[in-house]
Amino acid sequence: MDAAQDVFVRLCANDFRLLKTYDPARAGLSTWLAVVARSSAIDHARRRRQATQPIDEVPEASLGVEDRHIEKLKIPQGLLTERQILILKCLYDEERDVAEVAQLLKIDAQTVRSTHHKALLRLRAHFNEETS
């Protein structure tokens, strides 16, 4: 049953018990229906989440990503500084977090974040120009 049907089922269930609780003195009909719909949507999402398999039970082979489907970004020579390239490689290729990169390069974590940010700005600007 989808989320929209769930609202109507909830309103009609048990001899329209929920629908009979509507009080026009407390809220407009549209507001009251929005609250019922929101509640139904949350319940629907919770049921779907419970129906999924826990990550620990999924076979390791199913979680892998095949590299042949991932194309490496070709960064033009001279677009980024050596430090920016190094930080991007540590963060993305080696999947290190900011604190690890800062410790590895013996620099402040904020320097890693700002260098990363500046590198992404340069890349976005370059590739936006290319697509225009």
pLDDT means per 10 residues, the chain with 132 residues, are 74 83 84 83 73 65 55 80 92 88 93 94 84 63
Q: Report yes or no: 79 and 122 within 8 Å, Cβ to Cβ.
A: yes
Distances (CA, A) of 130 to 116, 118, 121, 127: 21, 19, 14, 5
Please give, one letter per residue, the 3-state secondary structure of 75-126: CCCCCCCHHHHHHHHHHHHCCCCHHHHHHHHCCCHHHHHHHHHHHHHHHHHH
**pLDDT value at residue 26:** 82
Structure-token pair, residue 20: 């009979």
**pLDDT value at residue 7:** 78
Residue in the block written with tokens 């003195």: 25
Alpha-carbon span 30 to 34, nearest angstrom: 6
**pLDDT value at residue 104:** 92
**pLDDT value at residue 60:** 64
